Amino acid sequence: MTWSSILIQLLNGLAGAASLFLVSAGLSLIFGVTRIVNFAHGSLYMLGLYGAYTLIETFGRTPLGFWSGVALAALLVGLAGALIEVAILRRIYRAPELFQLLATFAVVLVIKDIALFAWGPEDLVGPRAPGLRTPVEIFDKRIPLYDLVLIGIGPLVLGILWLLLTRTRWGTLVRAATQDREMVAALGVDQARLFTSVFFAGSVLAGLGGALQIPREPANLELDLSVIADAFVVTVVGGLGSIPGAFLAAIMIGVAKAFCIGIGTVQWFGVEIAFSKLTLVVEFLIMGLVLIIRPYGLLGRPPAQQRHSGEPAPPLVPPGWKVAAVWLVPLLLLPAAGDRYLVVLATDIACFALFAASLHLIMGPAGMVSFGHAAYFGIGAYAAGLLFKRAGLPMEAALALAPLAAGFAALIYGWFCVRLSGVYLAMLTLAFAQISWSIAFQWDSFTGGSNGIVGVWPAAWLASKTAYFYLALAVAAGGIALLWRVLFSPFGATLRAGRDSPLRLEAIGVELRRYQWAAFVLVGALAGAAGALFAFSKGSLSPSVISIALSTDALIMVLLGGVDTLTGPLAGAALFTWLRDEVARRTEFWRAVMGLVILAIVLIFPQGLVGGVKALVARWRRARA
Amino acid sequence: MSAVLEVEDLAKSFGGVRAVAGVSFAVAAGELLALIGPNGAGKSTCFNMLNGQLRPDTGRVRLAGRDIAGLPPRRVWRLGVGRTFQITATFASLTVRENVQMALYSHAGRLGSMLARFGGAFVAEADALLDQVGMRAQADRVCGVLAYGDLKRVELAIALANAPRLLLMDEPTAGMAPRERGALMGLAASLARARGIAVLFTEHDMDVVFGHANRVIVLDRGRLIAGGAPAEVRADAAVRAVYLGGSA
Ligand SMILES: Nc1ncnc2c1ncn2[C@@H]1O[C@H](COP(=O)(O)OP(=O)(O)OP(=O)(O)O)[C@@H](O)[C@H]1O
Ligand SMILES: [Mg+2]
């Protein structure tokens, strides 16, 4: 590379960093004050992009039309954010944190379908910025003037935010709340108004980040989750709640990505490395490295003394044989009903029940929330597919070995993950899942890239849907029984104890991390088994088995059923899978329907379905007594 | 008397704050040593350095002659140091008995098993410990619902589970009724004597301190300003000044 092309890549990276910074600053601001991990933040960015497209088309492609369109889009997105806060989140601030997360997932689903309804499924290519189209010559290379403007906007917004935060009463409150939420409540500040205003401000930043991208990136429906993943990485690298940190991290990541694209494909010692395909991997590698060196991000601080938020987890009750029988007997008889469709659905449910149960162990009793559990499901599925198609192993062997592959991935990923806790841990799991996804997606020659692998069919004796269903049921039931058994073993008790009080556990001679690491491997292997089962039941697989969307599906299943019970995640998996199937057959907008159902459940049963039903039964018993 | 714990010139700063600034003392087997001082004097910081929670900036901590400064808490525990925390730390979702059993399983190195059922072993041992601290009747209750004073008792039972030679108790009687306080410290004193356990405790209730401690040392702004038999310390002018001529 010449010096001029290095400079160009640097400028490219800085321009890309501007939007990344805006959207991450908004996320960080909202998290800092409300402690809500707003998964819908990427959706707000997406709305900003779509909104700017439509507004600029309406106002006309003049400089005035362009900039007023961008500004109005950001403002409208801000209002949408405030509306989400007032209508939904405000009602559940007292609910467990994970439930707030579930609500924001639901909002993601709803917004995606609103965008689908309003703008259709096609990518929309926006106008270039009027008046800023002429490229600027730098040495012998050209760069759009608009990119230079973007490079200026990042520090400008940083400066404005800094002034707002340090020179206004609102800013003082925001900073105080970021440091100590309870203290602000104690000071008698109107918390509701503070939260709404913070949501508004954070959403404006997301909307502006999106709207400013319109000349550089087409509006599309996949942006919500890809942007939220990027924003997570930036906030975590910069330090949660730190806006200068987000700025620094956005620049680091933006520039690193630009250089990857700029370098292109290189030959090193005869090995061809396509750097342009490594952008995602590089981004997440940076995150991994930073977290290992500075576990709380570049400019983040360790969370202030962790006071117990909410109530301690209730004790776990081991399910008896009766519970198992109630679940198993109807399932065993199910194929007798003669409905082929039902058998296929039940096979799906069996796979997802095992998947959800494995996620539940790690996030509930072990207290380590994973945003990227699909990594293990997907690696299991790919291992099964690759062993079967490429290594030519018999299906039975591929199915048996797949969990080992997933367990091995969990062994490596888990080593890093157990060094962190809370939101940082959750985001690192997401990062690993994204790395796995991008490898599956971009390594065409081995994994089949976006087409995936086809022709992954079960052995002859399992060819009938009914036979395969019994296999899936047996594997899922066996896996779930194993998970439950482990939960009530000394090992499982240690995990629960470590969630309750890591301090006490260490003080009685236990190195919690080793147990958590082993738990990662166990649930990784079982999620891998679920993925392998799933792959053979479908006959094919694609990168969607490692996607963020699947990871959030699993979280929804667990949270919907209730994280404090053992049968909850199974009920959640069944309900979610069935409902999605039913709704998807009837309407294109199944996501919105699912989202609304989830929101209704969140608002009515804040302990999840099984928890809610249990509470109702308890109340009914008390009323009778 | 042989010293179980010897502390030499221990110091720790946080940023610019010298929380503990060069402290030396020793505790003998069977002895109850009270570490007293006003809020923020550095008592908990001291404790945290003794059991490995914090790494001291300087100084030595010798347990039965072996330097343990800088070892992680889990290793210190394995060497026979039990501790209770100023803000109780118990396993809220486990029952009282299971809390004690966790420590007993850990002591026996049996927490790694993934398939055995937790809770079947060490029942008698756990109940015996709970009997001692008066929590046997509540053994099956979940810790998350206990009153604060009861949690302190559970913590004491946990801390005794590995038959420690040194027991560190950070405000063991906070949150208890006055009469219970005397009973709990009476228990600690009798255990210390019967089993030769060295006990170091902090306490704000001066009746407890002067009623049960064999010796008292006084910490103020990170430094020891007095030490000796309870009666001497009670009469010490410097101590009176620190406590504003209060109840001491
Ligand atoms: N982790 C920490 N970071 C910064 N400062 C700390 C930390 N822990 C303690 N301090 C400071 O060190 C000093 C001593 O605190 P310490 O908790 O040891 O006092 P204490 O004697 O136990 O008080 P109390 O009677 O209130 O429990 C205090 O000024 C405290 O603010
Ligand atoms: Mg203290």
Show the 3-state SS of B73-113.
HHHHHHCCEEEECCCCCCCCCCEHHHHHHHHHHHHCCCCCC
Of the candidates A20, A543, A546, which has an alpha carbon nearest to the alpha carbon of residue A257?
Answer: A20
Contact criterion met (CB < 8 Å) for B73 and A316:
no
Count of residues for chain A? 625
Strand ranges for chain B from DSSP E:
3-14, 17-28, 32-36, 58-63, 66-67, 81-84, 166-170, 198-202, 215-220, 223-228
pLDDT over 60 (residue A204): yes
> What would the pLDDT profile of A550-561 be if each residue is shown by its tens digit?
998 999 899 888
Residue A385: predicted pLDDT: 94
Question: In chain B, positions 179-238, which contact chain A (CB-CB < 8 Å)?
Answer: none
Contact criterion met (CB < 8 Å) for B93 and A505:
no
Kindly list the residues of chain A whose beta carbon comes within 8 Å of any beta carbon in chain B.
Answer: 311-316, 485-486, 488-494, 496-497, 499-501, 503-511, 515, 522
pLDDT over 80 (residue A509): yes
Q: Cα separation of A202 and A188, whole Å?
A: 23
> What DSSP designation does B65 have?
T
> What would the pLDDT profile of A575-589 be if each residue is shown by its tens digit?
999 988 888 888 888
Q: Is B80 on the interface with A (CB under 8 A)?
A: no
Nearest beta carbon to residue A490 from set B72, B77, B105: B105
For range A308-320, the mean pLDDT = 67
Higher-scoring residue by pLDDT: A110, A307: A110
For range A380-389, the mean pLDDT = 94
Best of B12, B13, B17 for a ligand 1 pocket test (most atoms within 8 Å of beta carbon): B17
Residue A270: predicted pLDDT: 67
Longest dimension (CA), chain A: 86
pLDDT over 60 (residue B149): yes
* Long-range contact pairs involving B180-184 (C-beta distance under 8 Å, separation at least 24): B180/B149, B181/B205, B181/B207, B181/B208, B182/B207, B182/B208, B182/B211, B182/B212, B183/B134, B184/B133, B184/B152, B184/B153, B184/B156
**Closest residue, chain B, to A313 (C-alpha):** B93
Residue A432: predicted pLDDT: 86
Interface contacts (A, B; CB < 8 Å): 110
Q: Is B147 on the interface with A (CB under 8 A)?
A: no
Contact criterion met (CB < 8 Å) for B90 and A490:
no
Q: Cα separation of A369 and A520, whole Å?
A: 11
Residue A619: predicted pLDDT: 80
Q: How confident is the model at residue B1 (pLDDT cuts 50, 70, 90)?
A: low
Who lines ligand 1 at CB under 6 A? B 14, 17, 19, 37, 39-45, 86
pLDDT over 90 (residue B178): no
Residue A608: predicted pLDDT: 67
Residue A607: predicted pLDDT: 66
A346: which residues sit within 8 A by CB, 6+ positions away? A331, A334, A469, A473
Query: Is the separation of the CB atoms in B184 and B149 below 8 Å?
Result: no
Percent of chain A with pLDDT over 70: 95
Query: Is the separation of the CB atoms in B89 and B143 below 8 Å?
Result: no
Q: Lowest mean pLDDT: which of A10-14, A291-295, A303-307?
A: A303-307
pLDDT over 70 (residue B245): no
Strand bridging mode B198-202 / B166-170:
parallel
Residue A497: predicted pLDDT: 94
Q: Mind telling me how many Å the CA of A281 is from chain B's nearest CA?
A: 35
- Mapping DSSP to helix (H, G, I), strand (E, B) and coil, where does residue A535 land? helix
Q: How far is CA A292 from CA A24, A281, A289, A362, in A?
A: 21, 16, 5, 21
In angstroms, how far is CA A484 from the centroid of its own chain?
A: 26
> What would the pLDDT profile of A119-177 be if each residue is shown by its tens digit?
999 999 988 887 777 777 777 777 888 888 999 999 999 999 999 998 988 888 888 88
Q: Cα separation of A558 and A572, whole Å?
A: 6
Residue B244: predicted pLDDT: 55
Q: How confident is the model at residue B110 (pLDDT cuts 50, 70, 90)?
A: very high
Residue A349: predicted pLDDT: 95
Residue A184: predicted pLDDT: 67
Token pair listed for B141: 């209750």
Token pair listed for A535: 């792959």
- Mapping DSSP to helix (H, G, I), strand (E, B) and coil, where does residue A121 land? coil
Q: Mind telling me how many Å the CA of A75 is from chain B's nearest CA?
A: 43
Query: Is the separation of the CB atoms in A537 and A547 below 8 Å?
Result: no
Residue A605: predicted pLDDT: 76
The residue type found at A328 is L
CATH class of B3-244: alpha beta
Residue A47: predicted pLDDT: 96
Q: Cα separation of A597 and A551, whole Å?
A: 19
Token pair listed for A260: 């990857």
User: Helices then strands (H, E): number in chain B?
Assistant: 9, 10
- Mapping DSSP to helix (H, G, I), strand (E, B) and coil, where does residue A1 land? coil
The residue type found at A172 is T
Of the candidates B241, B186, B72, B187, which has an alpha carbon nearest to the alpha carbon of residue A502?
Answer: B72
Contact criterion met (CB < 8 Å) for B162 and A493:
no
Nearest beta carbon to residue A489 from set B83, B115, B144: B115
Q: Cα separation of A391 and A532, whole Å?
A: 15
What global pTM score does this model have? 0.87
In angstroms, how far is CA A144 from the centroid of its own chain?
A: 33
Residue A559: predicted pLDDT: 86
pLDDT over 80 (residue A516): yes
- Mapping DSSP to helix (H, G, I), strand (E, B) and coil, where does residue A429 land? helix
pLDDT over 80 (residue B187): yes
**Closest residue, chain A, to B155 (C-alpha):** A504
What is the atom index within ligand 1 of the atom nearest the CA of B20?
Answer: 14
Interface pTM, i.e. ipTM: 0.93
Query: Is the separation of the CB atoms in A552 and A373 below 8 Å?
Result: no
Residue A229: predicted pLDDT: 85
> What would the pLDDT profile of A459-480 be if each residue is shown by its tens digit?
888 888 889 999 999 999 999 9
Q: Is B79 on the interface with A (CB under 8 A)?
A: no
Contact criterion met (CB < 8 Å) for B85 and A503:
yes
Percent of chain B with pLDDT over 90: 62
pLDDT over 50 (residue B226): yes
Among protein residues, the one with the nearest Cα to ligand 1's atom 14 is: B42
Q: How confident is the model at residue A495 (pLDDT cuts 50, 70, 90)?
A: very high
**Closest residue, chain A, to B119 (C-alpha):** A490
**Closest residue, chain B, to A499 (C-alpha):** B91
- The domains of chain B are located at 3-244
A162: which residues sit within 8 A by CB, 6+ positions away? A243, A244
Other beta carbons within 10 angstroms of residue A352's beta carbon come to: 25
Residue A311: predicted pLDDT: 59
Residues of A in contact with B158 (CB under 8 A): 504, 508
Other beta carbons within 10 angstroms of residue A467's beta carbon come to: 16
Q: Mind telling me how many Å the CA of A21 is from chain B's nearest CA?
A: 31
Contact criterion met (CB < 8 Å) for A490 and B112:
yes
Token pair listed for A374: 């699909």
Q: Mind telling me how many Å the CA of B246 is from chain A's nearest CA?
A: 31
Token pair listed for A473: 């049921």
Q: How far is CA A603 from CA A87, A100, B41, in A?
A: 10, 10, 48
A38: which residues sit within 8 A by CB, 6+ positions away? A27, A30, A31, A104, A202
- The domains of chain A are located at 3-293, 321-547
Q: What is the whole-number distance in angstroms between the Cα of residue B72 and the centre of ligand 2?
A: 20
Among protein residues, the one with the nearest Cα to ligand 1's atom 25 is: B39
Q: Cα separation of B199 and B170, whole Å?
A: 11
Q: Cα separation of A231 and A225, whole Å?
A: 10
Query: Is the separation of the CB atoms in A217 and A49 below 8 Å?
Result: yes
- The rounded mean pLDDT for chain A is 87
Residues of A in contact with B161 (CB under 8 A): 508
Query: Is the separation of the CB atoms in A225 and A275 below 8 Å?
Result: no
Q: Cα separation of A403 and A165, whole Å?
A: 50
User: For residues A489, A494, A496 and A497, what is the CA-based torsion angle, rounded to 10 degrees?
Assistant: 140
Nearest beta carbon to residue B118 from set A489, A503, A515: A489
> What would the pLDDT profile of A253-303 be if each residue is shown by its tens digit?
988 888 887 777 777 776 666 777 777 778 878 887 887 788 888 888 776
